[in-house]
Chains A and B, each alone.
Chain A
Amino acid sequence: MKLSFSPRLSPFLMPSLFTNLHRSVCSASSIPPPPTTPKPQTPLFLRPPTHSATTSDLQKWHDWANTLASSVGSTFVDLDNGPDSTLLRRELKWLMEDAIEETKNVDNNDGSVRLRVEIEELYMLWKQRVEERRPFQYVVGCEHWRDLVLCVEEGVLIPRPETELIVDLVGDAVLGNEGLREGLWADLGTGSGAIAIGIARVLGSGGRVIATDLSPTAVGVAAFNVQRYGLQDIVELRQGSWFGPLKDVEGKLSGFVSNPPYIPSDNIAGLQAEVGRHEPRVALDGGVNGMDDLLHLCKGAAFMLKPGGFFAFETNGEEQCKYLVEYMENDAGGSFCNLNIVADFAGINRFVTGFRR
């Protein structure tokens, strides 16, 4: 999973292979994403409504899709904590929202509806959703996250609801702390760009965010999303492994956030089908105990943050949180203070936050 980059090597000794892709923070705005990143797919809701279908054909599709959803019952729940029929039916409603131009006018006078995909493709898409357990967000090409609609596709992790809280944590940290708000931030392993875009909007025009990822697909998708929210002047994308692309900003970061892969390698095989079969392993697998990347990032935090700088990491839960805090208190040579463990809305201790001394 680690490809050519071993985070266990000190990144500061390791020359980045991507130096040619680095751009300075200030010049980020006008330069398109690196040429190596593939062009992202257009999500369903952004495609032009160039197709049409009769209402009765659409109704037929809908009935078929609904029956398929109902046939699932609680099979997936029992199997691997997957979606039940109720959830699938709600997704079906959202698929209609995204695929049909103005769901409200389904019954136009002329009895036809304008679609963003061919009706045949709707059959295919829903089959993929239910039979192949393809994640709904890949089917429609987007995920609603906070107040954002982020484009996603295979190869990019679908941002999780839990992760929304990192943006709130940053919001709390910069509240009344202009130094932090106007500083330079980094989101490592940005995936779709979710956290980077979220915090860029919290920081406002005074802040800067560097977002990195190892995966070229992720960098491409993140660049697309950054563009869509008009944040090119604030968020800069860099491709590379962890601190590799950040040499020029060592010790200069006001804030540093990451949701790195944290699932223990052993657990990968038993994951829910939507995750295990469809999401990129490089986004999930955190090594034997899931802590490889988190520990690596912790070490780097001491290096990268300037005094008073803030960090927040997402973890696998209680155990990893405790481990990290212990590590930071004891082994990190007193570099950090105000360490805090924060639970998600399900009550699971999910985040570790703190400040560079």
Chain B
Amino acid sequence: MSSFMLRRRASRGGSWQLLCPNPEAKSRFFPNLLFSTLSESQHRNVNQPSNPQNLRNPIERRNILDSGISSFSHNTSKTPSGSLQNPTFSSSIFVSGSKPLALSSGNAASGKNISGCGVLGLPTVKSLYSGRGRFGLVCLFGTQAAVEPSTCDGLTVDRIIASEWPILDEYESDWKSHAAAIAQSIHLIKKRLQWKKLLVRLDMLSAEVNKPDLWNDPVHAGKISREHGSLLGKMKEVQTFERELLEHVDMVKLAREENDTELESESMNALLNMRRTSKEKEIEALLAGEQDPCSCYIEVQAGAGGTESNDWAAMVMQMYKMWAQRRGYNMTLVDEMPGEIAGIKRATIKVDGEYAFGYAKAEVGVHRLVRISPFDSNKRRHTSFAAVAVTPILGDASEHVQINESDLRIERFRSGGAGGQHANTTDSAVRIVHIPTGITATCQNERSQHQNKASAMAVIQSRVDQLEMARQNKMNAQYSQSLTDITWGSQIRSYVLQPYRMVKDLRTNYEVSDPDSVLEGDLDGFILSYLSACLDKDEDDN
């Protein structure tokens, strides 16, 4: 296990690898064999000054680890002994802090506490280093090199998949089943990340980043190096995960060979934890788009049909408000145009939080309601429509499209009369029109005109940015539809309250028989099934 620590420590620079004794494997998988002295010094640290197994006190043992090898385990040594957990370790490897957690509560436990890694690592150190001296360490630089990681006997993720080992329930302690499940996840994750495209793009970006004149254009340079960093991070995360799997497989085999039951159960546990974490990673991979981490605006507009439609639009808006609340997002009303009798004609909310756009973009389109209208005294069944548009809010001002003041028309909304000193009103709604694109935004919810204008301007900015991204093909066109683009025929979901009860997504056929829960914001099932359907459908990308 300490090999993980070692690799972990160095992962910011090069990456540490377990080195197989097989010379063939060595040259095949680790062409950049460097720093052989390092592996010697590790030998000395671990084996020579004291034999860790002779130390009775676990703290003492860990201190040796601290001093010699692992910087990550600083944290470990502060943890009370006994049930040792290492949040730093687990969270940094498996769950990067800013990534969304799994939506379904079932996964919540995984990734957070991978217990046992720290303490139990020691015997492993022994078996790996002092056992037969057949493992060494190597530091691999140039992480971009497309090295396919493998176990000592040449097993790769692809080969694990090809072996078609049966995948059993989690509680079955069968390493092959765990390994097969994890391998499949890795395969899916790669597909969702559009792995090949990602590697090509990363190559291109690396070349850009290395150009000596890159920073002559700081804005461009910022963009390039940000994207490079983000893609590199994604790639490394998957590769780390992949190597992790293979190392555990190695260790299970080794443990069996040596009849080391402790090591075997420990490795089995590690595999099980990986298996759970991999489900989270699958979800994270659904949200790998450049704008996915952004906050966003959600806009709802009622279709034709008066009060019944307006009421439906209000229900849809309420559904998103509650969804945002469930997800822990901050929600603010930007603009709302009430219907004459009930509901809304149109409304815009701002949803602040990580991955708000990534999820909400799945909602773009027309939502249809069938019910007996409470507004119809004859109790007839009505079909109503509401259109939804979603706009990401780019966090980085340098990526904004420059908007010329002269391209804007700013109007007081609902003004009348002489104004100025004649009028006292708390209504300072402002409408801004971006003349070249015809994009319009209204804000009436702030208490000053200045701030209504600023809010409306922020909406305009985001829409203009979105339009530009769509133009540059940086965003899937279907997500960037504005309300005016959305044709009422393009329904994405149908909500039936009478004569039967059902909500069905017309894109994925995902359906739920409890409309109330959906209208109360339980949308994640719909969102995830749609996102995975989109990403998983085009085969052969991996």
Residues of A within 8 A of B (CB): 81, 83, 86-87, 90-91, 94, 135-137, 144-148, 157-158, 160-164, 259, 261-263, 267, 271-272, 274-275, 279, 283-284, 314-317, 344-348, 350
Contact = CB atoms under 8 A, between A and B. Distances in A.
B128 to A, nearest CB: 54
Contacts of A158: 424
Closest 7 CB pairs of A and B: A144-B447, A161-B449, A346-B415, A274-B424, A346-B412, A146-B450, A345-B412
Contact of A144 (B412, B420, B424, B448): B448
Contact of A262 (B338, B420, B426): B420
A166 to B, nearest CB: 12
28 contacts: A87-B425, A90-B426, A90-B427, A91-B426, A94-B447, A137-B424, A144-B451, A145-B450, A146-B448, A147-B448, A160-B421, A161-B412, A162-B420, A163-B420, A164-B448, A272-B422, A272-B423, A272-B424, A275-B421, A275-B424, A283-B421, A317-B420, A345-B410, A345-B411, A345-B415, A346-B415, A348-B419, A350-B419
Nearest to B446: A144
Contacts of B412: 161, 344-347
Contacts of B423: 81, 160, 272, 275
B285 interface: no
Given A81-B417, A144-B447, A147-B448, A271 B411 contact: no
Interface in B399-431: 410-412, 415-428, 430
A36 B423 CA distance: 30
Contact of A164 (B411, B415, B446, B449): B449
A314 B420 contact: yes
Given A94-B426, A345-B412, A162 B419 contact: yes
Contacts of B445: 90
B449 A350 contact: no
A110 B412 CA distance: 44
B426 A317 contact: no
B413 to A, nearest CB: 9
A284 B420 CA distance: 10
A87 B421 contact: no
Given A90-B426, A346-B412, 13 more contacts: A86-B338, A144-B446, A144-B447, A160-B423, A161-B448, A267-B422, A274-B424, A279-B424, A345-B410, A345-B412, A345-B449, A346-B415, A350-B419
B343 to A, nearest CB: 13
A347 B420 contact: no
A169 B134 CA distance: 78
Contacts of A161: 412, 425, 428, 448-450
B421 A346 contact: no
Interface residues of B, number: 27
Nearest to A161: B449
Interface string B347-373: 000000000000000000000000000
Contact of A137 (B338, B422, B426): B426
Contact of B448 (A81, A145, A263): A145
Contacts of B419: 160, 162, 317, 344, 346, 348, 350
Contacts of A83: 425-427
B140 to A, nearest CB: 51
Contacts of A284: 421
A81 B423 CA distance: 8
Contacts of A146: 448, 450-451
A81 B447 CA distance: 20
Contacts of A344: 412, 419-420
B440 to A, nearest CB: 14
B420 A316 contact: yes
A293 B419 CA distance: 19
Nearest to A145: B448
A317 B415 CA distance: 14
A148 B418 CA distance: 25
Nearest to B432: A345
Nearest to A136: B426
Given A144-B448, A145-B448, A147-B448, A346 B411 contact: yes
Contacts of A90: 426-427, 445
A164 B453 CA distance: 11
A189 to B, nearest CB: 11
B300 to A, nearest CB: 18
A162 B422 CA distance: 11
A263 B421 contact: yes
B456 to A, nearest CB: 11
B424 A135 contact: yes
A43 B418 CA distance: 29
Nearest to A275: B424
Chain A CB within 10 Å — which of B338, B412, B419, B430 has the most? Answer: B419
A177 B428 CA distance: 31
Contacts of A317: 418-420
A161 B443 CA distance: 14
Contacts of A86: 338
Nearest to A315: B420
Contacts of A314: 420
B417 A345 contact: no
B374 to A, nearest CB: 19
A157 B421 CA distance: 9
Contacts of B425: 83, 87, 161
A135 B425 CA distance: 8
Chain A CB within 10 Å — which of B416, B419, B420 has the most? Answer: B420
A283 B424 CA distance: 13
Contacts of B417: 81
Given A81-B416, A161-B428, A347-B411, A275 B448 contact: no
A135 B338 CA distance: 24
Chain A CB within 10 Å — which of B428, B430, B450 has the most? Answer: B450
Contacts of A272: 422-424
Contacts of A81: 416-417, 423
A277 B419 CA distance: 17
Contacts of A162: 419-420
Contacts of B450: 145-147, 161, 164
B418 A316 contact: yes
B473 to A, nearest CB: 37
A145 B426 CA distance: 10
Nearest to B333: A93
Chain B CB within 10 Å — which of A86, A94, A315 has the most? Answer: A86
Contacts of B338: 86
A136 B423 CA distance: 13
A347 to B, nearest CB: 7
A265 to B, nearest CB: 13
Contacts of B415: 345-346
B333 to A, nearest CB: 10
Nearest to A273: B424
B430 A345 contact: yes
A261 to B, nearest CB: 7
B347 to A, nearest CB: 13
Contacts of A274: 424
A279 B426 CA distance: 15
A83 B425 CA distance: 7
B93 to A, nearest CB: 37
A147 B447 CA distance: 9
Contacts of A160: 419-421, 423
Chain B CB within 10 Å — which of A164, A314, A345, A347 has the most? Answer: A345
